Amino acid sequence: MYLEGFDPPHQSDTRTIYIANRFPQYGLYTPQKFIDNRIISSKYTVWNFVPKNLFEQFRRVANFYFLIIFLVQLMIDTPTSPITSGLPLFFVITVTAIKQGYEDWLRHNSDNEVNGAPVYVVRSGGLVKTRSKNIRVGDIVRIAKDEIFPADLVLLSSDRPDGSCHITTASLDGETNLKTHVAVPETAVLQTVANLDTLVAVIECQQPEADLYRFMGRMIITQQMEEIVRPLGPESLLLRGARLKNTKEIFGVAVYTGMETKMALNYKSKSQKRSAVEKSMNTFLIIYLIILISEAIISTILKYTWQAEEKWDEPWYNQKTEHQRNSSKILRFISDFLAFLVLYNFIIPISLYVTVEMQKFLGSFFIGWDLDLYHEESDQKAQVNTSDLNEELGQVEYVFTDKTGTLTENEMQFRECSINGIKYQEINGRLVSEGPTPDSSDGNLSYLSGLSHLNNLSHLTSSSPFRTSPENETELIKEHDLFFKAVSLCHTVQISNVQTDGIGDGPWQSNFAPSQLEYYASSPDEKALVEAAARIGIVFMGNSEETVEVKILGKLERYKLLHILEFDSDRRRMSVIVQAPSGEKFLFAKGAESSILPNCIGGEIEKTRIHVDEFALKGLRTLCMAYRQLTSKEYEVIDRRLFEARTALQQREEKLANVFQFIEKDLILLGATAVEDRLQDKVRETIEALRMAGIKVWVLTGDKHETAVSVSLSCGHFHRTMNILELINQKSDNECAEQLRQLARRITEDHVIQHGLVVDGTSLSLALREHEKLFMDVCRNCSAVLCCRMAPLQKAKVIRLIKISPEKPITLAVGDGANDVSMIQEAHVGIGIMGKEGRQAARNSDYAIARFKFLSKLLFVHGHFYYIRIATLVQYFFYKNVCFITPQFLYQFYCLFSQQTLYDSVYLTLYNICFTSLPILIYSLLEQHIDPHILHNKPTLYRDISKNRQLSIKTFLYWTILGFSHAFIFFFGSYFLMGKDISLLGNGQMFGNWTFGTLVFTVMVITVTVKMALETHFWTWINHLVTWGSIIFYFVFSLFYGGILWPFLGSQNMYFVFFQLLASGSVWFAIILMVVICLFLDIVKKVFDRQFNPTNTEKAQLTETNSSVKCLDSMCCFPEGETVCASVGRMLERVIGRCSPTHVSRFYRSPV
């Protein structure tokens, strides 16, 4: 794995890379070691698969328990064969191993395909074709257009003179825009292999880290015995997995390879999330383990109590050996205890785990198949990244959602702006100022229609607010010119396939649009602003490494791009330093008003602040624009300090932040922009449905307070009638505490049904520092909470706070951007929206959907079904195992606790594997206890399953007591009906041990299977096949097993037993009678519960039944003239929640 040159683990903060691996020939040099370029996503190898997989499987408590039981059976004399425990254990282990092995084999194939991809490397003065896995750190790699980068490369040169290239990182972060990367000037000219072979250079950079957008390094180039130092940043690094676009070819040097590439370091192994059902299941297992140990202890004590009498201790037909008489009583007691433990161990259902795993894995496909969760416009279907949490979708109590891109479309439209204290709206491509419109009766033009009108001052009449004097007119033109120049120059927008002929020529017309230009931007805000500037008359034409071209009213101007001060979430702004054609140097800054206005010393600051607040109240997203003219001396200082900070290898980010703060001061405010991000379809209806379902919705956003409140009101998160409480702009702990106490008093005193709370990031930090309990008390009494100005980690902290509160509610987080990943991973269930801010949220989520409105179907239908299915599965498994083992326990009272088994060992082995496994598995996949349309249209039904209600102790005790009562009926019914009657067998023989045990077993198999049938509401031909087929299979197997003398069986206790049993009419009568008695009480309870204490779900079922349902959408029910294939298709549609009204008349109408 490791090649020459690395010190694992990294012993220094930096690594030194000699380009083309030209190591120094003189002086002391210790080569570092770097890993090769193989990507390994697989978990196992051929050699470690068996031991590693077995180790992982036996870490599961149930598997380890059965292994211990199996070893006990091997070591001591136990009443049952080791096969009875060994075979089910082997089956579970094998099935799981095959599944995991197959998944890992697919990963191996994927790795081999990637690692074996052909690449071209520069070696010995020529291009050498090799495989991707053979790339070493320091190799110069050639990449052609549309190829994927095989390692993290520092760009050396491209086919363009300036050494730039375009790439797309869609596979890394989902952003489809073209990004420009540039080479340093000294290597950009080396465009051939021969020239690159002369390059002598060293790269010093940081050690590998996962952050895709962070890279610090420097290149030291030796030319003519001089060393030239150039800084390297993210713009120089080409990431593995990205694709080269619009560039013929590039050369780059590998700096990170294999599992040290940023793509590989982002293979996040998510923390294991456990559902509430799984936790309940473990609790039930512990309870049953206590029952098992108690039964074993009771049996052992009663055995020795019974054997206290000499005639029972050593009867004449079972004399002890000398060894048994002399053995230790303590050892005998332990041995007997272990023997009883083995005898009763089947009360712990080992097959429960494998059935649950199969149910979750297979059931998760239904989400992806659901056409209601398919978004046609973007061609995206729902994705399941974690099938372990399906049932958790039915338990959600809190929903935490991002705003931008989650509740809104993240498609920005420029709407308004404020320039020098005057507000403008864009109407039909024209900027219209406040005041009379062009259609006014006075005929005055109080609007600005493109900057072309400014060149013709006759458009501005004497009564226009713009025209007061020639000096003001000139000033007006300058201000608007500067404002839109700032918009067109200060951004990171790129242009693809530029066709510039005719653009901007002649006067600007309102119906003209730069259709030949296609803008790409990582931020939709920036794209909207650049497009708006183009409509106004200042068209961004493209940029290179050193210049930005802007066409102003048809006249092309080239600005020299001196520096870009990149945007970061701490500063909340970005800036560019450019040199105008006149030679003047300007700093243009753009950012949130909270980061721009405090740094301004001129311009209409107060008016703009008022306008920004007005924009925010309309729900618009705002940005402020400012500038600063730099003198030559000022620029020299800035240029030097930027170079020093960018070439620093230690604390570069802190140094850059200080320099940025030094530069971005003493600004002149130009104005503000306002863009609209419209709401997604059916957001209001979805939030209202969540509220009806008893789910509290919190909106966590980074937007400013006014914008967030406006959007909350428009999307229905806040109601107009709701009492809105505010915790904002708190400056100290004491102030925050007092405000919280006031809010708590208001909630108590105000006789308002619903309260809403607004809290900002700074106030939240204070509240969480010292007053968590008080803050949580206020939040719990609010039906809606809005947190604005939130940092990503603050979002996660809020969710963490709710998770660990005394109620321990189930939380769900939904977001679409990289800033939402932390809260998505913190919540019990994370939902990623496949939006326009990349795919990081979707990749790191448990489930991914295309639109927020799909959340209601995901929770109310899929979540409801999954929870009901798996809750019944878990309860039923414990029930049928209680039915199975309790007769074995009761039988010991009639065989002097001799540890004689009631059932044949084959029946012991196959009970959970074959005879009773399929009906519950199919039920857990296909059951629909109520029509999905009713579940979707009646969110209140979601409350019936909240707080893990179906797995409460009360429900668990009911199933357990039911199992014990059925077991008593099986055993004592068989005993009293058959025990003393010698005439029941046709040949006059009495019932023997195996006949009695087989009768109990037969009644049990039929009863537990029919019990499953009673629980089934949605019947398909598959349910019929496995339910009645399981009973038929049991009879056929028993006849076959007991009807033949098997040569490989040492003793065959069951030979002809089943034939004799079924030959008796009394036995048939007894079987039917006991099955009816067992299930009659259960049916009576269900009828009384539905009649006198029905749940909302049962009432809805009654409504559904009265809605003229003629066909249960099952494949056993064929409408007239329908073929079998059509019925199969209809059933599959229903299973995934797409019931066709043309096939079945199930219509739910909510009561008026």
- What residues contact 243, with CB distance under 8 A and at least 6 apart? 146, 147, 148, 149, 167, 168, 170, 171
Return the ∠ at Cα 504 (arms to 499 and 505), rounded to 5°: 105
Sign of CA dihedral 595, 596, 597, 600: positive
Q: Which helix (H) or strand (E) holds 78?
A: none
Half-sphere exposure (CA, 13 Å, Cβ side) for 715? 34
Closest C-alpha among 1149, 914, 865 to residue 1033: 914
Task: Give the count of beta carbons closer than 10 Å to the beta carbon of residue 714.
Answer: 17
788 token code pair: 């604005």
Which residue type occupies 155? L
CA–centroid distance for 871 within its chain: 23
Q: How long is the chain? A: 1152
Question: Under DSSP, is residue 93 helix (H, G, I), strand (E, B) or coil?
Answer: helix
Return the ∠ at Cα 916 (arms to 910 and 922), rounded to 5°: 130
Which residue type occupies 256? Y
CA 866 – CA 1140 distance, rounded (Å): 21
Torsion of CA 520, 524, 525, 528, to 10 degrees: 60
Q: Are 43 and 107 in contact (CB under 8 A)?
A: yes
Helices (H), 317-350: 322-326, 329-344
Strand partners, 849: 833
* Active-site residue, from 139, 370, 402, 904: 402
Instruction: Give catalytic status of residue 1113 as yes or no.
Output: no
Closest C-alpha among 586, 488, 492 to residue 538: 488
DSSP string, 542-600: EE-SSEEEEEETTEEEEEEEEEEEEEETTTTEEEEEEE-TTS-EEEEEEE-HHHHGGGE
CA–centroid distance for 537 within its chain: 44
DSSP string, 668-730: EEEEEEEEEEEEPTTHHHHHHHHHHTT-EEEEE-SS-HHHHHHHHHHTTSS-TTSEEEEE-S-
What string of H, E and C letters represents the secondary structure of 1088-1139?
A: HHHHHCCCHHHHHHHHHHCCCCCCCCCCCCCCCCCCHHHHHHHHHHHHCCCC
CA 1022 – CA 1127 distance, rounded (Å): 12
Return the ∠ at Cα 125 (arms to 119 and 127), rounded to 5°: 20
CA–centroid distance for 956 within its chain: 31
Rg of the Cα atoms in the chain: 38
| End-to-end CA gap in the chain | 71
Helix, strand, coil shares of the chain as percentages rounded to 5? 50, 20, 35
CA 834 – CA 850 distance, rounded (Å): 5
Burial of 1150 (0-12, 13-18, 19+ CB in 10 A): exposed
Question: Under DSSP, is residue 627 helix (H, G, I), strand (E, B) or coil?
Answer: strand
CA 693 – CA 387 distance, rounded (Å): 23
Catalytic annotation, residues? 402
